[in-house]
Structure 1
Amino acid sequence: MATFNETMVTQFILIGLSEHPKARAVFFWFLLVLYLVCVLGNGVIVLLILVDSRLHTPMYFFLCVLSFVDLTLINNTVPETLANCFIDMPMISFTRCLSQMYLGLLLVSTECFVLAIMAYDRFVAICHPLHYIQIMNWPVCIGLVGASVSLAFLLTLINALLQPTDFCGQHVINHFVCELQSFLRLDCSESRTSELFLHISSLFVLLPPFGFIVLTYGRIGLAVHRMRSAQGRRKAFSTCSSHLAVVSVFYGTIMIMYLRPQEKSVSDQSKIISVAYGGLTPMLNPVIYSLRNRDVKGAFWKLVGRKTLD
């Protein structure tokens, strides 16, 4: 059993769906299917991009990074959540709780920046096609990803340094996992510095990248509108539509989660939203890209020994 004194907490209890036992089986199978599709889909995309030389381009490099981030993100929480589905009061150690929270924050922040980089890549490809290779060279691509990870790590580190240390013996987290907002609600100190910085960093991580994506696609839309060739417009739309779909799902769910007015307690609706951006988005990414991308489908059939189907 966990031991607690007035302020020291060594373990947390995760409520999850403990109050809805009949929903556990449905949630378990939903989450299991979501997890398997995500791991298989993103794993295949990473493998295809690594082994097929035709996919060694900046666009697919960023897609490979995105799929790797999604693989790590879903493996950070979902296997443990599946194991806890039929446990009345699952417990998680303080150390594991922190690692789960801050790794998740690092990955989600990185994905925000990578999606913005992917929008810039499409902007250069469509608006400056003759200079694409010069602008999006490999040092630039690697530098952009490195800068994204570094910035995400810095924000995560500051959040970790500001984490609450006084819980007044509270050790029950009303969530499936150690989600940062739910964790901060246990803080009983008066300063609330950690919660304030989380709101500030959420604004920084979400709004500038999203605004950049909107501005970038505005420029792309103008460029496509000026194209005389209908085939060129269709190709540009096809190139951008997959990324736009992923951006809509990811930013839509995470903005609802972190930019809306905070509730005093975590609702079941908030838990479902967290599942959407933590599990549903990583699952949809490979589905969206593979279904709408001929190069990815061609690489897949080549890998399994078949010719590309037109």
Structure 2
Amino acid sequence: MRNHSVITTFIILGLTDDPQLQILVFIFLFITYMLSIIGNLTIICLILVDSHLKTAMYFFLQNFSFLEISFTTACVPTYLHIILTGDRTITIKACFSQVFFIVLFVATEFFLLAVMSYDRYVAICKPLHYVTIMNSRVCRILILCCWVSGLLIILPPLGLSLYLEFCDSVINHFVCDASPILKNSCSDTWFIEQLVIVCAVLTFITTLMCVVLSYIYIVKTILRLPSAQERKKAFSTCSSHIIVVSIT
């Protein structure tokens, strides 16, 4: 029998113990969080009320904004609460819930970016068939596939992690994350660690290949356009998506 007490809570160390730095971190995170929420809510509302924005591209953008709001809300408010109250404890259930939602939203975002690149491919390479191919039913199915894919990525490693025993309670991070949680376990975590790597690499490679292949065809099509004005207009429709993909 192993001699250790049952751990029911974790302690999140955060970014710093310096009170002055904590104030700066709180102000910075709070302002950026509010700007993110306001900006993305504005995008969602504009798309809902403007009839000219009822296209596939803006439908995907609306869902992307929702995912951004969900992702930042899953991690930032918890740390703001820790700085504000000084209470660094979090229950294991709450910690695993946070991991679940953070990874779900991030993975779904990756798949959505791949879908958005396909949308741009259809818009530029098959413009005459765009409305037919990217109809509302297809768009809803693609969004559903993004969410299901994100769910399938997170469930296997998280499901196995629920059976872990923990010997340490300190999380050297400002949110609950897979790596610091696994470090606290006194169970054998080798298989879970490998599964996490496989799921992460699979998500990254799959979505990246979709984006790269889409843009290879897009660039080829744009370069065949006769006038510089048409090429500029075609590139401009993809510029914002390219920037988001690059940052991600």
Paired AA for residue 101 in structure 2: L
Partner of 1:72 in structure 2?
Answer: 70
Q: For 2:155, which of 145, 154, 157 is the aligned residue?
A: 157
Q: Which deviates the most, 88-97 or 112-121?
A: 88-97
The 8 Å contact of residues 162 and 193 in structure 1, kept in 2 or not, is answered as no
Partner of 1:52 in structure 2?
Answer: 50
Partner of 1:238 in structure 2?
Answer: 236
Partner of 2:88 in structure 1?
Answer: 90
Q: SS state of the match for residue 162, structure 1?
A: helix
The 5 A counterparts of 1:175-194 are 175-194=173-192
Cα deviation, residue 89, structure 1: 5.5
| TM superposition score normalised by structure 2 | 0.94
The 5 A counterparts of 1:128-277 are 128-163=126-161, 165-250=163-248
The 8 Å contact of residues 119 and 134 in structure 2, kept in 1 or not, is answered as yes
Cα deviation, residue 49, structure 1: 0.8
Q: SS state of the match for residue 161, structure 2?
A: coil
Distance 1:174 1:112, change over 3 A: same
Distance 1:7 1:123, change over 3 A: farther
Partner of 1:99 in structure 2?
Answer: 97
The 5 A counterparts of 1:27-42 are 27-42=25-40
Q: Which consecutive residues of structure 2, in runs of 5 or more, have no partner in the other structure?
A: none
Cα distance in 2 between the residues matched to 1:18 and 1:171: 18
The 8 Å contact of residues 165 and 187 in structure 1, kept in 2 or not, is answered as no
Q: Deviations 1:58-108 (Å, cap 9, x if unpaired)? A: 000000000001111111111121121255561111111111100111111
The 8 Å contact of residues 45 and 67 in structure 1, kept in 2 or not, is answered as yes
Partner of 1:63 in structure 2?
Answer: 61
The 8 Å contact of residues 125 and 132 in structure 1, kept in 2 or not, is answered as yes
Distance 1:174 1:231, change over 3 A: same
Cα deviation, residue 156, structure 1: 1.5
How many residues in Structure 1 have an aligned counterpart in Structure 2? 246
Partner of 1:123 in structure 2?
Answer: 121
The 8 Å contact of residues 64 and 109 in structure 2, kept in 1 or not, is answered as yes
Q: Deviations 1:106-144 (Å, cap 9, x if unpaired)? A: 111100000000000001000110111111111111111
Q: SS state of the match for residue 160, structure 1?
A: helix
Cα deviation, residue 235, structure 1: 1.2
Q: SS state of the match for residue 90, structure 2?
A: strand
Cα deviation, residue 37, structure 1: 0.8
- Identity, in percent, stands at 39
| TM superposition score normalised by structure 1 | 0.76
Partner of 2:11 in structure 1?
Answer: 13
When the two chains are superposed, the root-mean-square deviation of aligned CA atoms in Å is: 1.6
The 8 Å contact of residues 45 and 64 in structure 1, kept in 2 or not, is answered as yes
Cα distance in 1 between the residues matched to 2:34 and 2:24: 16
Paired AA for residue 230 in structure 1: A
Cα distance in 1 between the residues matched to 2:77 and 2:39: 17
Q: Which consecutive residues of structure 1, in runs of 5 or more, have no partner in the other structure?
A: 251-310
Cα distance in 1 between the residues matched to 2:29 and 2:135: 39
Q: Deviations 1:138-181 (Å, cap 9, x if unpaired)? A: 11111111111111112221122111534442111001111122
Cα deviation, residue 20, structure 1: 4.0
Q: SS state of the match for residue 190, structure 1?
A: coil
Cα distance in 2 between the residues matched to 1:102 and 1:62: 23
Q: SS state of the match for residue 188, structure 1?
A: coil
Cα deviation, residue 55, structure 1: 0.7
